[in-house]
């Protein structure tokens, strides 16, 4: 899986989770960039990403992600 395939799907997951069709994500996007991205929504987001890409993140991976770029890299590495 490559970034060109992941980014549109991941963007749609973000839009669905946060209920905002105007969200545009990039490698540098963090929780500070999306108004409703708090700890509860983070859990919802991770679950939605796992469902979309048929994968599971390890707790250390989730806690270590600093931005969307790191999430994309993990998905590309292991995703289907």
pLDDT of residue 79 exceeding 70? no
Tell me which H or E stretch contains 33.
none
Which superfamily does CATH assign the domain made up of 3-78 to? ACP-like (1.10.1200.10)
Give me the mean pLDDT over the 48-70 stretch. Answer: 94
| pLDDT (0 to 100) of residue 68 | 97
pLDDT of residue 80: 56
Taking phi over 0 as left and psi of -120 to 50 as alpha, with beta for the rest, 41 belongs to alpha
Confidence at residue 78, expressed as pLDDT on a 0 to 100 scale: 84
Q: pTM value?
A: 0.93
Flag whether pLDDT at 16 surpasses 80.
yes
For the chain, which residues make up each domain, given as ranges?
A: 3-78
> Between 41 and 1, whose confidence is greater?
41
């Amino acid at each position: 899986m490559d970034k060109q395939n992941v980014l549109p799907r991941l963007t749609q997951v973000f839009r669905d989770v946060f209920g905002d069709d105007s969200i545009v994500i990039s490698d540098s996007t963090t929780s500070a960039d999306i108004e409703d991205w708090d700890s509860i929504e983070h859990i919802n987001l991770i679950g939605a990403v796992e469902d979309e890409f048929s994968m599971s993140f390890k707790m250390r991976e989730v806690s270590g992600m600093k931005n969307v770029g790191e999430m994309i890299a993990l998905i590309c590495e292991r995703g289907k």
